[in-house]
Amino acid sequence: MVTRSQRARSRRSGGEDQPDGGRQPRLHGDLLASSLLAFLRNWPAYGYQLAQELSKAGLPAFHSGTVYRTLRQLERSGLVSSFWDTSESGPARRMYSLTKAGEAFLELWLDVLSHYQKILHSAVSSYENHQKRGESGGDRPARHEPKSSGKGGHHA
């Protein structure tokens, strides 16, 4: 049974007739958080600067609210700290920096990503090898056609 929220998400996504339900691939929240931590490992930064760095790194564009919400979650978790920078003219801006706990978390997360990278590399290589065999007419298993029931005869 499809719930109301599932129907609403489907309508917002743009297309029930598309193979993927009209959804665009999304960057997992942990990957966003770890990317922010990785940038903060190099230098303290404002949220706006971090959003620009995400874009420069080739990650999909994020709504600024998503970036700031993630930074606040990281701060509540003790992985980043922040302070209001009033040193420049204009409005105060929040400057974020990585904590020791954030550095430790990032190291563990990078180990996890390295493990998954190996798994994904193996899966992609297997897929590509399968595609190459298919293009060259290699040892591809024959497809089995559905058996007819024998009723109704053969149609031309």
Note the pLDDT tens digit of each residue in 75-87.
Answer: 999 999 999 999 8
pLDDT value, residue 18: 43
* Domain ranges, ordered by start, for the chain: 25-135
What is the mean pLDDT of the segment spanning 132-140? 67
Which of 18-22, 79-83, 110-114, 121-125 has the least mean pLDDT?
A: 18-22
What is the mean pLDDT of the segment spanning 91-102? 95
pLDDT value, residue 113: 85
The tokens for 156 are: 């031309």
Which of 57-61, 91-95, 128-132, 142-146 has the least mean pLDDT?
A: 142-146
Task: Read off the pLDDT of residues 50-68 as tens digits, 9 standing for 90 and up.
Answer: 999 998 998 877 888 999 9
pLDDT value, residue 93: 93
Confidence band, pLDDT 50/70/90 cuts, at residue 137: low
pLDDT value, residue 135: 72
DSSP states along the chain: ---HHHHHHHHHHT-TTSTTTTPPP---HHHHHHHHHHHHHH--EEHHHHHHHHHHTTPPP--HHHHHHHHHHHHHTTSEEEEEE-SSSSS-EEEEEE-HHHHHHHHHHHHHHHHHHHHHHHHHHHHHHHHHHHHTT-SPPPPPPPPP-STT----
- CB of 10 within 8 A of CB of 59? no
Top CATH class, 25-135: mainly alpha
